Amino acid sequence: MTDLASAPTWPAHDPGTRRWLPDHSRPVDHARVEQLLAAEWERFTSTTGASGEHNARASRTLPLGVTSSFQHWEPYPISIQSAEGAWLTDVDGHRLLDLSMGFGAMLVGHLNPVVVEHVERALKETGTLFVTPSPQATDMSERFCRRFGLDMIRFTNSGTESLMYAIRAARAYTQRKAIVKIEGGYHGGYDALQVSVKPALEDIGPADAPIGDVPFDVEAGTVHVVAYNDLGMLEKVLAEHGSEVAAMVVEPVIENLAIVLPDEGYLAGCRALCDEYGVVLVFDEVKTGLTAGPAGAAQRLGVQPDLITLAKSIGGGLPLAAFGGKREVMEVVVDGRMAHFGTYNGNPLVMAAAAAVDEICTPEALDTAEAINVRAMEAIDAAIAEYELPAHTVGLGVKGCVTWSTTPVRNYRDYKATDFAVAELSWLWGVNRGILTPPGLDEQWLVSLAHTDDDMGHLVSDFTELARALRG
> Is residue 124 annotated as part of the catalytic site, yes or no?
no
- Give ∠ CA 248-252-258 in degrees, rounded to 5: 120
Torsion of CA 402, 405, 409, 413, to 10 degrees: -130
Task: Tell me if residue 284 is catalytic.
Answer: yes
Alpha carbon distances (Å) from 76 to 87, 94, 432, 450: 21, 16, 14, 28
Is the CB of residue 102 less than 8 Å from the CB of residue 357?
no
Choose the catalytic residue: 181, 287, 312, 399: 312
R_g of the chain, CA atoms, integer Å = 22
Q: How many residues does the chain have?
A: 472
Give the active site residue among 76, 165, 173, 186.
Answer: 186
Q: What is the DSSP letter of 12?
A: P
Q: How far apart are CA 45 and CA 26, in angstroms?
A: 32
139 vs 464: CA distance, rounded Å: 47
Q: 153: which strand partners?
A: 324
| Identity of the residue numbered 64 | L
Active site residue 236: no
As a whole number of angstroms, the distance between CA 153 and CA 318 comes to 18
Measure the CA–CA gap between 65 and 57, rounded to whole angstroms: 7
Measured distance CA(249)–CA(231) in Å, rounded:
14
Q: For residue 76, give the 3-state DSSP assignment.
A: coil
Q: Is there a contact between 137 and 338 (Cβ–Cβ < 8 Å)?
A: no
- Contact between 159 and 308 under an 8 Å Cβ cutoff? The reply is no
Catalytic residue among 98, 284, 358, 462: 284
HSE-up (13 A, CA, CB side) for residue 57: 7
CA dihedral 18, 22, 27, 30 (to 10 degrees): -40
Q: How many helices (H) and strands (E) does the chain have?
A: 14, 17
Spatial CA neighbour of 186 closest among 109, 251, 118? 251
Asked whether 155 and 314 are in contact (CB, 8 A), the reply is no
87-90 and 24-25 as β-strands: parallel, antiparallel, unpaired?
A: unpaired
DSSP 261: P
CA-nearest of 147, 25, 92 to 432 is: 92
- Give the containing element (helix H, strand E) for 365: helix 363-386
The residues annotated with a catalytic role in the active site are 186, 284, 312
